[in-house]
């Protein structure tokens, strides 16, 4: 079995990525990361607890360098938290995290040499030696743009702190203990940024304290912000995804029947990593250090393992955490063979066009809603986007924007996040008008191979009578045969099986408790209502899965997924693959 380092070396040498498995970080790297985090935690604790009560751990606290910041206690807290934060980057092999940890430890050695503490010098020197010894384990590159962002942030805070400190000295010029030149003012303000007392003497201690707090705080902000920016996860090289789309569309045309989410790989914020043969690919986006793939790999099934291996190699090379959101059963098996854990995330509702009927008691609610809307004069037009006139398409785009809730276009794994693009001519639109001809709702469905459609966009006027959604869904199912469509994928229901099992006779207490918890959560996220909205059409349920390296990564993956789906704010660059 190839190691991560061998895999990265092979890729850099231009060789084909082996169909290997995702490997846990090397034990040496994990030990170094935990050691750094332990030292950081001790430093943070020592900064808030009386030192006299903790003589036995003072030596460990001394390992945290404190000179050059506002006070030793504040510095210990900030650097302690920073070292804890560094541990995660070290565990993922981030080169920038290694550099910062080495710099902090090296400064600590120098400081303890000056202070004359042999034991702290020995301990800090040991950490430096371990970091240098294991330097080859930390190869994941940082984002080159972060370097300049860190420089700008540091310079901005330092400049602001210097000017404010200089101004405060000028305001107190009549309260100085003696005469000091303007150059002395500047020297005092500059030294205050690194926590060193300058040459200016104040008649009142309060004036000296105020200037020290101002300059020291801005110095602390400068170095802390620079450190955090340097440690921001890399998003990798920006790839010309638009140039790859014709190749991807050709592959979707050949193999797109395998996964209803395949067309969503054409989103502009997704990057692609290809199998060496070019006959399979994984679509992903990097969010806060998580490489988030969605759906199954695209392309020839036999080439999936090699595409997954290339993606995992890319993750290992950049220090990203791999995760897969909403893959199908075949994709879940492939990712599991590649070393990822798999858990069920929910179920996708799929309507069989040939078997769909409004007859029967289970469809009574839908049948009545559709009949009521048609009696009220509502009608639906179902057409390929390419067959709509520019005027009608512009009207549909305007309507979709007007009916959108909030300013953010939600979706990542099961949303295209665009409407009216000329490249999407095969998409099917359902336009619902009232008796006056006004557009009151619309659906957009993207191609699912050659014989399927997958629901992408659903917009409806909330002031319209109940049954608008049912009318649009039934209309597209009834018209589907005319487009050669045999199946339609509707919405995804998170943890649908929990609700279904809780309704069964003899459901156990654990399932019933879990169902109550999800119902309570549905007040915020509409988990149960989405399941009910899908279930009324009597669909076939196909499970979807979440793939991840280990349970400890799940919180980061959850935050990344919510960010990608636009449920959490994303302050990263809005570029392909950006985080």
> Is 531 within the bounds of a domain?
no
The lowest-confidence range among 350-354, 428-432, 531-535 is 531-535
State the CB neighbour count (10 A cutoff) for residue 517: 12
Model pLDDT, residue 21: 67
In a domain, residue 539? The reply is no
490, 428: one domain: yes
pTM higher than the cut 0.95? no
361 and 467 fall within a common domain: yes
Task: Tell me: do 376 and 485 sit in the same domain.
Answer: yes
For residues 155 and 247, membership in a common domain is answered with no
517 part of a folded domain: no
Overall average pLDDT of the 295-302 stretch = 93
In degrees to the nearest 10, what's the CA dihedral of 205, 209, 215, 219? 130
**Model pLDDT, residue 44:** 65
Which of 230, 259, 284 is where one domain is finished? 230
Is the same domain home to 269 and 177?
no
Instruction: Indicate whether 394 and 458 sit together in one domain.
Output: yes
Q: Which domain holds residue 442?
A: 349-494
Q: What is the pLDDT of residues 16-61, one digit of tens each?
A: 444 456 766 667 777 888 887 777 676 666 656 654 444 444 444 4
- pLDDT tens per residue across span 108-152: 666 556 545 566 667 667 777 877 887 777 777 766 677 777 788
- pLDDT at 514 > cutoff 70: no
Number of folded domains in the chain?
4
For residue 463, pLDDT over 80 is answered with: yes
**Helix ranges, 281-389 (H):** 304-318, 329-337, 364-375
Pair (153, 17) in one structural domain: no
Residue ending a domain, among 90, 108, 137, is 137
Domain boundary pick from 230, 253, 270:
230
For residue 42, is it within any domain? Answer: yes
Residue carrying the six token digits 């002031």: 463
Backbone angles phi, psi at 293, to 5 degrees: -90, 160
Same domain, 311 and 217: no
* Rounded Cα distance, 70 and 220, in Å: 7
Measure the CA–CA gap between 534 and 499, rounded to whole angstroms. 13
What is the pLDDT, as a whole number, of residue 153?
A: 85
| Rounded-to-integer distance, Cα 22 and Cα 64, Å | 35
439-448 vs 321-327, strand pairing mode:
unpaired
Residues 223 and 301 in one domain: no
Same domain, 334 and 263: yes
- Map residue 445 onto helix, strand or coil: strand
Do 8 and 113 share a domain, yes or no?
Answer: yes
pLDDT band, residue 366 (cuts 50/70/90) = very high
Residue 570 belongs to a domain: no
Q: Locate 483 and state its tokens.
A: 């487009």
Examine residue 574 and state whether it is found in any structural domain, yes or no: no
Average pLDDT, the chain: 78
Is 503 a member of any domain?
no
500 in a structural domain: no
* H or E stretch covering 94: none
**Which positions ≥6 away from 249 have C-beta within 8 Å?**
266
Q: What is the CATH number of the domain that holds 421?
A: 3.40.630.30
- pLDDT of res. 134: 78
- One domain, residues 385 and 469: yes
Per-residue pLDDT averaged across 350-370, rounded?
A: 92
Which pair of structure tokens corresponds to residue 577? Answer: 């693959």
């Amino acid at each position: 079995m190839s190691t991560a380092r061998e895999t990265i070396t092979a890729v850099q040498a231009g060789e084909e990525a082996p169909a290997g498995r995702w490997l846990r970080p090397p034990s040496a790297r994990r030990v170094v990361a935990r050691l750094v985090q332990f030292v950081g935690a001790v430093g943070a604790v020592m900064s808030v607890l009386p030192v006299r009560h903790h003589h036995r751990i003072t030596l460990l606290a001394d390992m945290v360098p404190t000179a050059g910041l506002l006070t030793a206690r504040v510095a210990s807290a900030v650097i302690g938290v920073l070292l804890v934060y560094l541990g995660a980057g070290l565990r993922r092999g981030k080169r920038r995290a290694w550099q910062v940890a080495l710099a902090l430890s090296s400064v600590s050695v120098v400081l303890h040499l000056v202070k004359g503490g042999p034991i702290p010098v020995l301990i800090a020197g040991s950490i430096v030696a371990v970091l240098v010894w294991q330097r080859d384990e930390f190869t994941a590159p940082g984002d080159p743009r972060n370097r300049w962002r860190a420089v700008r942030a540091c310079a901005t805070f330092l400049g602001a702190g210097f000017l404010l400190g200089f101004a405060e000295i000028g305001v107190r010029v009549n309260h100085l203990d003696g005469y000091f030149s303007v150059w002395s003012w500047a020297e005092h303000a500059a030294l205050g940024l690194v926590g060193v007392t300058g040459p200016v003497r104040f008649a009142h201690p309060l004036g000296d304290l105020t200037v020290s707090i101002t300059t020291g705080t801005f110095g602390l902000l400068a170095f802390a912000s620079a450190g955090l920016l340097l440690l921001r996860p890399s998003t990798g090289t920006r790839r010309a995804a638009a140039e790859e789309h014709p190749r991807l569309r050709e592959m979707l045309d050949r193999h797109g029947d395998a996964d209803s989410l395949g067309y969503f790989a054409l989103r502009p914020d997704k990057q692609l990593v290809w199998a060496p043969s070019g006959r399979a690919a994984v679509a992903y986006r990097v969010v806060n250090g998580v490489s988030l793939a969605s759906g199954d790999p695209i392309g020839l099934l036999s080439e999936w393992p090699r595409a997954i291996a290339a993606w995992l190699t890319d993750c290992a090379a950049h220090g990203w955490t791999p995760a897969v959101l909403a893959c199908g059963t075949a994709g879940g098996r492939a990712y599991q063979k590649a070393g990822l854990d798999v858990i069920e995330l929910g179920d996708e509702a799929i309507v069989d066009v040939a078997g769909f009927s409004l007859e029967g008691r289970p469809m009574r609610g839908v049948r009545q809603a559709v009949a009521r809307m048609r009696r009220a004069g509502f009608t639906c037009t179902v057409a390929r986007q390419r067959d709509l006139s520019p005027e009608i398409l512009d009207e549909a785009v305007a309507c979709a924007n007007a009916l959108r809730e909030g300013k953010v276009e939600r979706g990542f794994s099961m949303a295209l996040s665009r409407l009216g693009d000329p490249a999407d001519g095969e998409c099917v639109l359902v336009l619902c008008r009232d008796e006056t001809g006004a557009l009151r709702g619309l659906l957009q469905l993207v191609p699912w191979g050659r014989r399927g459609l997958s629901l992408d966009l659903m917009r409806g006027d909330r002031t319209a009578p109940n049954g608008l959604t049912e009318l649009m869904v039934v209309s597209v199912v009834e018209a589907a045969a005319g487009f050669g469509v045999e199946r339609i994928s509707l919405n995804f229901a998170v943890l649908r099986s929990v609700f279904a099992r809780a309704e069964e006779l003899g459901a156990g207490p654990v399932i019933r408790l879990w169902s109550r918890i999800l119902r309570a959560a549905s007040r915020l996220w509409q988990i149960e209502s989405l399941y009910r909205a899908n279930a009324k059409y009597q669909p076939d349920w196909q499970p979807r899965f979440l793939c991840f390296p280990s349970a400890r990564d799940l919180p980061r993956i959850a935050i990344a997924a919510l960010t990608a789906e636009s449920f959490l704010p994303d302050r990263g660059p809005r570029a392909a693959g950006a985080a």
